[in-house]
Amino acid sequence: MHVIVGLGNPGERYAQTKHNIGFITVDYLAEQHNIKINKIKHKAVIGEGTIGGEKILLIKPQTYMNLSGQSVMDIVNFYKVPLENLIVIYDDIDLPVGKVRIRPNGSSGTHNGMRNIIYLLNNQEFPRVRIGVGKQPTYMDLGDYVMTKFNSEEKPLMEEAVKKSAAAIEEIVKSGINTAMNKYNK
C-alpha cells in the first residue's frame, strides 16, 4: 500500500492558494482514479482506491499546514506503512512556478509542514514531490505570499504541474521512485 499525502490548509479561504497545491494535486488524482475522499480519520480526510493495481490512500491532513506531521504520523503508525511507500506533495518557493521536482528523501527546506512531518516521524527518508510556486516578492512576507491565489500567468503553469505531479506519483506507485525521477525530473 502507498500513502499519498497532499499538504495544504483546510477551509474554503485557502482552497486555491499556493500553499494548497498538495491538496489540489490529491484532488486531481482522486478525480483521475475515481476515488472519493470522504472518510474522516487520523486528523485527515482520506480516500481509498487503487493505482496500477496497487492499493493507495489519498490523504489531506486537516490539522493546518504546520501540524501536518500529526496526521501523517498517525497514518504511518496505524497502517504500518514503510516510509518508502509514503509520498508527500507540497509547494516549494525555491523552485520556479510550475517546476516539478521528485526526490527520494531530503530536508524540509523552508517548508514548515514538511519540517513537522520529518520531526514527528524522526526520519526524512521518504519520497516527495515538490511543486514550484516561485519566490515571494521582496516586499511581501513569505506567509502572506504562500496564501495568495495563482494569478492568470501562473494558473496554466500550475495546472500543467498538477498533471505532471499526478503522472509522477502514478509512476512512483507502479515502477518506483528512480523510474519516476528519471522520467519527470527533466
Cell digits of residue 102: 521528485
Q: Which of 19, 33, 42, 111 is catalytic?
A: 19
Count CB atoms within 10 A of the CB of residue 55. Answer: 12
Q: Is 2 a catalytic residue?
A: no
Strand order in the sheet with 44-51: 39-41, 44-51, 54-61, 2-6, 86-92, 128-132, 100-103
Residue with cell 485557502: 14
- Residues classed as catalytic: 19
